[in-house]
Chain A
Amino acid sequence: MPEIKVTPLGAGQDVGRSCILVSIGGKNIMLDCGMHMGFNDDRRFPDFSYITQQGRLTEFLDCVIISHFHLDHCGALPYMSEMVGYDGPIYMTHPTKAICPILLEDFRKITVDKKGETNFFTSQMIKDCMKKVVPLNLHQTVQVDDELEIKAYYAGHVLGAAMVQIKVGSESVVYTGDYNMTPDRHLGAAWIDKCRPDILISESTYATTIRDSKRCRERDFLKKVHETVERGGKVLIPVFALGRAQELCILLETFWERMNMKAPIYFSTGLTEKANHYYKLFITWTNQKIRKTFVQRNMFEFKHIKAFDRSYADNPGPMVVFATPGMLHAGQSLQIFKKWAGNEKNMIIMPGYCVQGTIGHKILNGQKKLEMENRQTLEVKLQVEYMSFSAHADAKGIMQLIRMAEPRNMLLVHGEAKKMEFLKDKIEQEFTINCFMPANGETTTVITNPSVPVDISLNLLKREMALGGPLPDPKKPRTMHGTLIMKDNSLRLVSPEQALKELGLNEHQLRFTCRVQYRKTEFTIFIVFSSSYLVKAWLVLKGYTIQHLPDGTVMVESIVIKVSSSAEEPNTKVLLLSWSYQDEDLGSFLSTLLKKGLPSGLSSM
Chain B
Amino acid sequence: SYNTSKPLPQEEAPAKKLRLTKPSKSAALHIDLCKASNPTDALQYLLHFARSSVEAESVEGVVRILLEHYYKEQDNSVRLKIASLIGLLSKTQNFNPESILDDTLNTFNTEKSHQVLAQLLDTLLVIGTQLPESLIVRHRLIEVAYKHLSDTYFGVRNKCLQLLGCLGNVDTPLNKDGQGLVPAVIGDAQSLISDYFADQDPRVRTAAIKAMLQLHERGLKIQQTIYDQACQLLCDDYEQVRSAAVQMVWVLSQLYPESIVPIPSSNEQVRLVDDSFGKISHMVSDGSWVVRVQAAKTLGNMLQVSPHFLEQTLDKKLMSDLRRKRTAHERAKELYASGEFSSGRKWADDAPKEKVDTSAVNLIASGACGAFVHGLEDEMYEVRIAAVDALSALAQSSASFAEKCLDFLVDMFNDEIEEVRLQSIHVLRQISTNITLREDQLDTVLAVLEDSSRDIREALHELLCFTNVSTKECIQLALLELLKNLTKYPTDRNSVWKCLKFLGCRHPTLVLPLVPELLSTHPYFHTPEPDMDDPAYIAVLVLVFNAAQSCPTMTALFSDHTFRHYTYLRDSLSHLVPPLRLPGRTQAPGVSGIEGSGSVESAQLFLQQSLSRISTIHNLQDPGAQDLLNFTIRDLQRLGELQTELAGAADFSATYLRCQLLLTKALQEKLWTMAVPLCLKHNAMATAAAKQMLEETYKLEFLYSGLENRQVATIHHVRLQAKALQLVLTARTRRGVEPLISVCEKFLQEVESFQRLFVVELPHLQESFVGKLLDLSPKLSACKPGELVKILQTTLRQSGFLNLQLPKQVQRASATIIEPTGESDNPLRFTSGLVVALDIDATLEHVQDPHNTVKVQVLYPDGQSHVIQPKPGDFRSPGPHRHRLITQVYLSHSAWTEACQIEVRLLLAYSSSRLCKAVWSDSSTEGLQPAEGATEGTIPFGKPVKVFIMPKPARR
A residues with CB within 8 A of B: 182-183, 185, 188-189, 191-194, 208-220, 222-224, 226, 254, 257-260, 287-289, 350, 364-366, 383-386, 395-396, 399-400, 403-404, 419, 422-423, 425-426, 430, 471, 474-475
Contact = CB atoms under 8 A, between A and B. Distances in A.
Nearest to A210: B319
B348 A404 contact: no
Nearest to B332: A216
B377 interface: yes
Given A194-B237, A213-B328, A288-B381, A260 B321 contact: no
Contacts of A222: 414
Interface in B316-371: 316-322, 325, 327-329, 345-348, 350, 358, 361, 363-365
B453 interface: yes
Nearest to A223: B447
Nearest to B415: A215
Contact of A226 (B322, B373, B447): B447
Given A226-B447, A259-B451, A218 B358 contact: no
Q: A223, A259, A430: which has the most chain B beta carbons within 10 Å?
A: A259
Q: A185, A210, A288, A395: which has the most chain B beta carbons within 10 Å?
A: A210
Interface of B is mostly: loop
Interface in B412-430: 412, 414-417
A359 B442 CA distance: 37
A418 to B, nearest CB: 9
Q: B358, B378, B416: which has the most chain A beta carbons within 10 Å?
A: B416
Given A191-B287, A384-B347, A216 B318 contact: no
B444 interface: yes
B287 to A, nearest CB: 5
Contacts of A193: 287
Contact of A396 (B320, B348, B363, B488): B363
B929 interface: no
Contacts, number: 118
Given A254-B416, A289-B417, A400-B285, A366 B347 contact: yes
A406 to B, nearest CB: 9
B347 A259 contact: no
B376 interface: yes
A365 B152 CA distance: 70
B363 A395 contact: yes
B684 interface: no
Contacts of A419: 321-322
Nearest to B361: A426
A219 B379 contact: no
Given A212-B328, A258-B450, 15 more contacts: A183-B378, A188-B379, A192-B287, A208-B320, A214-B377, A216-B328, A222-B414, A223-B444, A224-B345, A257-B452, A366-B347, A384-B345, A396-B363, A404-B287, A426-B361
Interface string B4-26: 00000000000000000000000
B198 interface: yes
B414 A218 contact: yes
Contacts of B259: none
A215 B322 contact: no
B200 interface: yes
Nearest to B236: A194
Contacts of B373: 213
Given A189-B379, A213-B373, A364-B347, A219 B318 contact: no
9 contacts: A182-B377, A209-B320, A215-B377, A220-B328, A224-B345, A288-B380, A399-B363, A403-B285, A430-B363
A336 to B, nearest CB: 20
A260 B488 contact: yes
Given A212-B328, A213-B328, A399-B363, A183 B379 contact: yes
B347 A422 contact: no
Nearest to B444: A219
B411 interface: yes
Contacts of B175: none
B244 to A, nearest CB: 17
B364 A403 contact: yes
A254 B415 CA distance: 10
Contacts of B287: 191-194, 404
B364 A422 contact: no
Contacts of A188: 379
Interface residues of B, number: 49
A259 B453 CA distance: 9
Nearest to A350: B347
Contacts of A220: 328
A215 B411 contact: yes
Contacts of B452: 257-260
A395 B379 CA distance: 19
Contacts of B74: none
Interface in B443-501: 444, 447, 450-453, 488
B444 to A, nearest CB: 7
Given A288-B381, A385-B345, A474-B200, A219 B414 contact: yes
A258 to B, nearest CB: 5
A471 B453 CA distance: 63
B414 A208 contact: no
B411 A216 contact: yes
B346 A366 contact: yes
Q: A364, A403, A430: which has the most chain B beta carbons within 10 Å?
A: A403
Contacts of B414: 215, 218-219, 222
Q: A183, A215, A404: which has the most chain B beta carbons within 10 Å?
A: A215
A238 B91 CA distance: 70
Contacts of A364: 347
B150 interface: yes
Nearest to B321: A208
B150 A471 contact: yes
Contacts of B237: 194
Nearest to B381: A288
Contacts of B361: 426
Nearest to B410: A219
Nearest to A394: B319
Contacts of B318: 210-212
Contact of A213 (B316, B317, B325): B316
Contacts of A209: 319-321
Q: B327, B412, B414, B444: which has the most chain A beta carbons within 10 Å?
A: B414
A36 to B, nearest CB: 22
Q: Closest 7 A-B residue pairs measured CB to CB? A: A216-B328, A183-B379, A215-B411, A474-B200, A386-B347, A259-B450, A210-B319
Nearest to A475: B198
Contacts of A216: 327-329, 411
A399 B319 CA distance: 15
A193 B239 CA distance: 10
A344 to B, nearest CB: 12
A106 B347 CA distance: 31
B364 to A, nearest CB: 5
A258 B453 CA distance: 7
Contacts of B328: 212-213, 216-217, 220
Interface string B196-211: 0010100000000000
Contact of A430 (B320, B350, B364): B364
B379 A422 contact: no
A426 B237 CA distance: 24
A519 B319 CA distance: 84
A194 B488 CA distance: 52
A192 B412 CA distance: 27
Contacts of B412: 215
Contacts of B447: 223, 226
Contacts of A191: 287
Contact of B365 (A213, A288, A396): A396
A258 B377 CA distance: 20
Q: A209, A213, A395, A425: which has the most chain B beta carbons within 10 Å?
A: A213
B315 to A, nearest CB: 11
B494 to A, nearest CB: 20
A470 to B, nearest CB: 10
Contacts of B319: 208-210, 395
